[in-house]
Amino acid sequence: MGQAILHIHSTYSDGLATVDQVLDEVDRHGEIDVVGFTDHDDVRAYERALRWKADHPRSRVQPLWGVELTVWGFKHLLIYQFQAPFPDRPPAKFLPLKRAVQAAKSAGGVVIVPHVDVFWVGMGRHRLTRVAKTLGIDGIELLTPFQGSDRSVGNLLRMNRACGLLAVGGSDAHHLQDLYRVIVEFPGHTVEDLGRAFAEQTALPRWGPAAGRVPLHRQLRQHTRALLVHPYEQVRRRTRPRAEPRLM
């Protein structure tokens, strides 16, 4: 069985580790096959990860294209893409849910609803039950540290009996210490194998080892980055002249 860590944030959004630092750490760990970067409304981490991979051809670690997209109402969607061409720009921020899912699917993406019942950014089980099949949502995060109680997992499992969605998980990591909090196991070892496991619903999440303690000053730095620095950076990027989109 291969192992993937998904829902990882870098300094391209509100994480505190660069893409290289994340991949260096995972390479030293030695057991992870796939890393899914999902920065908020930003996909630059994937291109940076490809450059890291080119510099480390013997590493088992492979990057997965991903993004955590903010849709209308500040709800979040995870989009993963397993086959080229890979967009160098995500769908627009704050699209209505239906349009956001359509944009992701038209580009070949797999749509996962993260932290379903987390206040404010989660879609909620009841809404998800109503719209999952009609919109074409592919899966949910069954395991996530920010919704980690047995009761929450049980509620999601009961909901998913009606929806029949792929149930995976993600660490939602913003610090190196958090990378392995959730592991997704799948048959095989490549990105293509993980994509097949998503399609066949044979990918299975499990809790990873307990995370190391993040010092308070780094927690405060990350919250400042999430609430102030990253939104400011996004506004600056949106107001700059844009080059024509290209595909990777």
What gap in Å lies between CA 209 and CA 20, rounded to an integer?
Answer: 22
Give the separation between CA 26 and CA 36, rounded to whole angstroms. Answer: 12
CA distance 152 to 123: 14
Q: Inform me whether the pLDDT recorded for 246 exceeds 60.
A: no
User: Could you report the per-residue pLDDT of 95-111, keeping only the tens digit for each?
Assistant: 999 999 999 999 999 99
For the entire predicted model, the pTM comes to 0.93
Start-to-end CA distance of the chain, whole Å, equals 29
Cα distance between residue 22 and residue 128, in whole Å: 32
Query: 160-207: per-residue pLDDT in tens?
Result: 998 999 999 999 999 999 999 999 999 999 999 999 999 999 999 999
Work out the average pLDDT over 32-39.
Answer: 98
Note the pLDDT of residue 242: 57
What are the chain's domains? 2-239 (3.20.20.140)
Q: What is the pLDDT of residue 208?
A: 94
Q: pLDDT digit string (tens) for 63-72?
A: 999 999 999 9
pLDDT level of residue 210 (50, 70, 90 thresholds): confident
In this prediction, residue 241 carries a pLDDT of 61
Model pLDDT, residue 120: 87
pLDDT at 245: 47
In whole angstroms, what is the distance from residue 22 CA to residue 9 CA?
Answer: 9
Q: How many residues does the chain have?
A: 248
Query: pLDDT at position 229, please?
Result: 84
Sheet of 2-8, strand order: 166-169, 139-143, 110-113, 75-81, 62-71, 34-37, 2-8, 182-186, 204-207
